[in-house]
Homo-oligomer: A and B are copies of this chain.
Amino acid sequence: MFSKACEYAMRAAVYIAKCSMEGKRVAVKEVAEATDIPEAFASKVLQRLARAGLVDSLRGKKGGFSMSASQQKRSLYEIVTLFEGEAYFNSCVLGLPVCSSQNPCPLHYQVVGLRDALKKSLQQTTIRKAATEVVDAGARLRFSSEDDESH
């Protein structure tokens, strides 16, 4: 449904938010392990999130990534559009360059409403809210449980 980069970005962002809520700055290495992302790729994804202002990064010893309260309030939609582009939610399901109520493709009415609902759902879901699911409901950001990290 979404690209790997986008999936990774969401997992990483939620993990960083969770850490920031606990007042902890995290390094790429930890984010990568906690969310099952290849470390070097995680680094690229986080660079992109940082350049977009969705996370803060600090270089050097004791550096790492964090999210301010206002960053935690940004929506998952912002992450998705950063990696998939606005077109993901706006362009024609059949790939036509023009498709609207004026000029619909045969699936326009069929699909547009549902896709808009998905869009709105992601717009209304803050990164912080997703992080809270992890803390409160034990929702996961990686396959294996946090118990068997074995370190």
Instruction: Please tell me the number of chain A residues within 8 Å of chain B, measured between CB atoms.
Output: 44
Given contacts A106-B130, A107-B130, A141-B105, contact A10 B117 (CB under 8 A): no
| Contact status A104-B4, CB under 8 Å | no
A40 interface hit (Cβ, 8 Å): no
Q: Which of B7, B91, B97, B110 contacts A143 (CB 8 A)?
A: B97
Cα–Cα, bound, A95→B36 (Å): 10
Q: 8 Å CB contacts to B: which residues of A112-151?
A: 114-115, 117-118, 121-122, 125, 130-131, 133-134, 137, 139-143
Look across to chain B and name the residue whose beta carbon is closest to the beta carbon of A104. B139
A131 CB, min distance to chain B CBs, angstroms: 7
Q: Which residues of B contact A140 (CB under 8 A)?
A: 96, 99, 103-106
Copies in the complex: 2
A80 CB, min distance to chain B CBs, angstroms: 10
| Contact status B2-A93, CB under 8 Å | yes
Look across to chain B and name the residue whose beta carbon is closest to the beta carbon of A88. B1
Look across to chain B and name the residue whose beta carbon is closest to the beta carbon of A98. B143
A108 CB, min distance to chain B CBs, angstroms: 7
A54 interface hit (Cβ, 8 Å): no
